Amino acid sequence: MTWDVEKVRKDFPVLHREVNGKPLVYLDNGASSQVPQIVIDRMSAYAADEHSNIHRGVHYLSQHATTAYEAAREKVKRFINAPDVKECIFVRGTTEGINLVAQSYGKKFIGEGDEILVSAMEHHSNIVPWQIVAEEHGAKVIMTPMNERGELIIEEYERLLNERTKMVAVTHVSNSLGTVNPVKEMIATAHKYGVPVLVDAAQSVPHFAVDVQDLDADFFVFSGHKMFGPTGSGVVYGKRKWLDQVPPYQTGGGMIRSVTFEKTTYAPIPEKFEAGTPAIAAGIGLGAAIDYLNSIDFDAAFAHEHDLLEYATARLADIPGVTIIGTAAEKASVLSFTIEGVHPHDIGTILDQQGIAVRAGHHCAQPVMDFFCVPATARASFAFYNTRDEVDKLADAVQKVIEVFA
C-alpha cells in the first residue's frame, strides 16, 4: 500500500501557506495537529445553518443540533470500539478529562494511605490532578520509573503494584519522548490486583487505531485537536461500572434528573458528567475528524509516519552535536533532540525563521527533562501529511543553527 502524501496535503489548507517568507513546514503536530477542510466545512455549516442548544428545546434546530452532536458521540464510540456509546463523555480535552476522572474516582475510591501509580514520562496533566487528589484524600503518588532509553521498567511497575494501589495512570504514547508504552500488558497486570487504569491517549489516537475493549482500559482519555479535529473537543471513555459508581465532576444544568432544594438526583451517564452547554460545534467537528480518519488508509498513514521518524532520526543523528532524547524500541513519530551548546529556544527561533514549526521547551513534562538532565528539548512531531522533503529542510536548518552558534 502506498501513501499518496501530496493528495492528502491538499485536504489541509494551512499546509499551503507561507511563514516568514518560506513554505510552512509544520512539525508541531504533537502540540496540535492541523485541520482538514472537511472539518472546517462541517463546523462552519453547523454555525451557519444548524446552531442551537442541545437536549433542551422541542424546536427544530435544537433537535437537529442534538442529533448531530449525538451522532458525533456514536462516531467516537466506533472509533475507539467502546462497548456502549453512553460510556463516551465529551470534555474540552485530555486535561479536563483526566481532572474529571481523578476528582470523581478519587472522591469515591481513594483514601488515606492509598497509592496512585503514575509513570515517569507523564505530561503534567497526568501528574498534577493525581497530586491534588492524593493531597485531598491522604494518598500518595508513586512514580513508575523508566530507563535511559525512555522505556518504562515493567518489572519495577509490577513490583510497585500492591493492595494499596487504587489507580494506575499511564500515557499511551509519551509526548516528550515518543515512547509507545505496553499499556495492554500493563492493564492486564494492574487488573490482577483489581486496580483500574487510566490511559492518556492524547498522543496515540492520531497515530494508530485503538480499541478500548482489546486494551481493557478502564479510562481512556484524548483530545480532538491532536487528531485533526478542533480545540475544545475531547473524550473520556470510562467503563460503565466505574462511571455509574462515582460522583459527578461539575454540576449544573443538563446533568440532573430532578432538583429540589432538599435533594438532587443525577442523570444517567454520559449526561451525569456533562454539566452545562458543551462545546457543541467542537464535538460535531471531532465527529467530522473521525469521518476523515475513517476515509484514509490509517495503516498506510502510520507506516508513512514511521518512515518519516526513522528517516529524521537517521538524518539528525548524523549531525555532530545533535543528541536524540528518547530512543525507545517502540516509538510514535515524536523526535526530541538537543544541540550541544545551543538552547532549544534558540533552535526554535532559528527554525521558525525558515518556516519550520517545532516545539521548544519542557513539553509540560519537567520530570522527563530532569531525568535526562536537560532544561528543555526541541521536538519535531510528524503527522501523515509531512514529507521526507520537510525532514530534509529540518536537517538543513539544524545544520544552520550549528553554523550560527559555531
Partner 1 sequence: MSELNELYQDTILDHNKNPRNFRDIDDADKSADGKNPLCGDALRVYVKMENDVVSDVAFKGSGCAISKASASMMTQAVKGKNREQAQLLFDEFHKMVTGELDIESDDNSLGKLRVFAGVLEFPARVKCASLSWHTLNAALHDEGEISTE
Contact call for residue 404 and partner 1 (CB under 8 A): yes
Q: Would you list the DSSP string of 161-177?
A: --TTEEEEEEESB-TTT
Is residue 373 among the annotated active site residues? no
Least Cβ distance, residue 1 to partner 1 (angstroms): 40
Q: CB neighbours of 83 closer than 8 A, spacing ≥ 6?
A: 213, 240
Q: CA-CA distances (angstroms) from residue 344 to 111, 350, 361, 380?
A: 41, 10, 7, 12
Which residues ranging from 320 to 379 are in contact with partner 1 (CB under 8 A)? 341-346, 349-350, 353-354, 360-362, 366, 369, 375-376
For partner 1 (CB under 8 A), the number of binding residues is 20
How would you class 38 by CB atoms within 10 Å of its CB: exposed for 0-12, middle for 13-18, buried for 19 or more? middle
In the complex with partner 1, the residue whose CB is nearer, 330 or 370, is 370
Number of alpha carbons in the 13 Å side-chain half-sphere of residue 256: 10
Least Cβ distance, residue 178 to partner 1 (angstroms): 20
Contact call for residue 393 and partner 1 (CB under 8 A): no
Backbone angles phi, psi at 331, to 5 degrees: -130, 145
In the complex with partner 1, the residue whose CB is nearer, 35 or 360, is 360
> What CA–CA distance (Å, rounded) separates 272 from 59?
24
Number of alpha carbons in the 13 Å side-chain half-sphere of residue 286: 34
In the complex with partner 1, the residue whose CB is nearer, 23 or 254, is 23
Are 344 and 167 contacting, i.e. CB atoms less than 8 angstroms apart? Answer: no
Look at the alpha carbons of 129, 135, 138, 141 in this order and tell me if their dihedral is positive or negative.
positive
- Binding to partner 1 by CB under 8 A, coded x per residue (else -) over 15-54, reads -----x----------------------------------
Name the active-site residue from 31, 153, 364, 374.
364
Are 207 and 175 contacting, i.e. CB atoms less than 8 angstroms apart? Answer: no
Please tell me what DSSP assigns to residue 280: H
In the complex with partner 1, the residue whose CB is nearer, 226 or 359, is 359
In the complex with partner 1, the residue whose CB is nearer, 235 or 397, is 397
Least Cβ distance, residue 400 to partner 1 (angstroms): 9
In the complex with partner 1, the residue whose CB is nearer, 138 or 375, is 375
> What CA–CA distance (Å, rounded) separates 265 from 258?
5
Least Cβ distance, residue 329 to partner 1 (angstroms): 29
Least Cβ distance, residue 125 to partner 1 (angstroms): 16
Contact call for residue 147 and partner 1 (CB under 8 A): no
Least Cβ distance, residue 394 to partner 1 (angstroms): 16
**Gyration radius of the chain's alpha carbons:** 22
CB neighbours of residue 231 within 10 Å: 16
Q: Which residues are catalytic?
A: 364
Summarize as ranges the residues that interact with partner 1 (CB under 8 A).
20, 341-346, 349-350, 353-354, 360-362, 366, 369, 375-376, 404-405
